[in-house]
Structure 1
Amino acid sequence: MENQNGNSKLKAIVAILAILLVGSLVYIFKLTSDAKTMETTVVEIKSEKEAVLKDLETLKATYDEAIAENKDMTDELIAERDKVTKLIAELKTAKGDAASLRKYKEQYKQLEVKMKNLMQEVEVLKAQNQDLTTDLDSTKVVLEDSKKYNQVLVGQNEELAKTVEKGQKLSVTNLKTAAYKLRSSGKQIETDKASRADVLQIGFTIAENKIAKSGDKVYYVQVIDAKNNVLGDKATISFGDTSLTYSFTTTVKYENKTVDVKEQLPGKDFAKGTYFVNVFDKGELVSKSSFSLR
């Protein structure tokens, strides 16, 4: 009877130990399974965190490139880039839990949407700037063409002005000089003898010119005798860097028609030989001639 009771107790103890063993095995399995699950979760969170960081770095690089290329929206682009930079710094030091990571992923998505909108605006501005550059280039070409055309016109006008100036100059022709003997009666007798000459008569013709300016024209007549002396007034006048010693001046009222001019230069003791007569319009020699007295 005692043996039976002892066997029963032993069986009971073995059963209890078996149950405890099974429970321990189940508990250990559960702990192992939970540890593996937690380890997997930590790895997944770390991987997602690295992925978000990588996306944020890409976002920042996009802003850096846009800032370097765009001058019209620089302030707004810099402000958004600074938000991305700040989020990157926060994420690097953040706890690696799922809730925190979800928060950063949501913020990244918001920043990504903002970036796409800004990039669209940048592209629109680029297109507008390109059109403006094209317009400016076209305007520059037109201005260059106009400048060249104006230079051609200026050259043509200068040539035309020179042509008109030349055309306006009066032609002095038919310059003739003769010596005369004066009679007491006032009559003048032409002579070629120096000893008999009392006066030299110089005559010339101003040709008709329809485009010349009308009005009083002053000519300077220079008579040089055989001894290289300037006869008459021997007055000197300067025209710029040149000076002219002349015998007399004659003022002609010119009305665009042919005018014959005659002036007399009185003298005495005329020298024998060749005389030279020059007619000047200011400092420009417009006609010359010579004659001789014997």
Structure 2
Amino acid sequence: MEQNNKSKEKRQAWLIGIIVVLTLTNLILLYLFVQRNKDVNQQAVVIEEYKEEINQTSAKLDSISQELDKRIEEAKALNQDYEALLKVKEQLERDKEQLKNANARMLREYEAKIKAYEELLIAKDKELEKWREIANELNEEVVETKKEKMKLVDSISSVQKEKQKLEQTLAQAAILKAENIRILAINSRGREREDDVYRARQIDKLKIVFNLAENKAAKPGTRQIYLRLIEPSGAVLVGPDGGRFQDAQQQNLNYTTIKQVMYDQNSQEVSIIYDKGSEYREGTHVVELYCEGHLIGRGSFVVK
């Protein structure tokens, strides 16, 4: 009898052990299942966010394309040259097609492209504004005055076309030039100051402003402007957006920061803001601007 009781207790102990093992196994499997579902859900969220970003970028490009179409039609109506705008439109269509296969890095580049396109639209609006004003004035004048002013517009247009032909004939190279380079200091309160000599505490950020000169020999389209900030020691500051590029002599050069612009063959103002994040050393600092491997402008300022 006593032996039967012991056997019965052993069987109960085995059953309890098996139940505990099965329970632990089920708990582990449940945890792994929940964790796997969590990872899958996180991946799904990332994919949806990526798709949404592509859709938003595509929508912005479509909007810019529609605005370009309007500028082209308006330039035609005002009897103005619109060939440069057509080439920009072709570049935009290529960007839209490449967006379909864009990765995360390329999406960041599209932000700069979109900003450059928007800046071009603003610049083109300023150019067309004077022709809109003339057209409005003509619509308000009597028939005879209207005819005289139309002749004047035609004459100005003819002079511009002749001037463009002369510039294309005289152009020796397509190298862009940076003119009227200005170096401004921005303090911690956001106030700008322009001088040749600054105290280190006056500089929280630098603002470099210049004009890309008109050049009918250069093809319109996206340009990358490399800024090199050279310290008194001769070393080039390499900022968070800096890196290396090859110049026209195939030399690898460090650069401080980069600015992407949409160039349309006309004179346009460009500004680059650089935040070093620390105090500038005493002495003469040199600013160099490069485009397509060529030095297109240089300026300097002194810190004391």
Q: Is the shorter-chain TM-score for this pair beyond 0.5, marking a shared fold? A: no
Q: Give the TM-score, by structure 1 length.
A: 0.40
The structure whose RCO (Cα within 8 Å, separation 6+) is larger is 2
TM-score by length of 2: 0.39
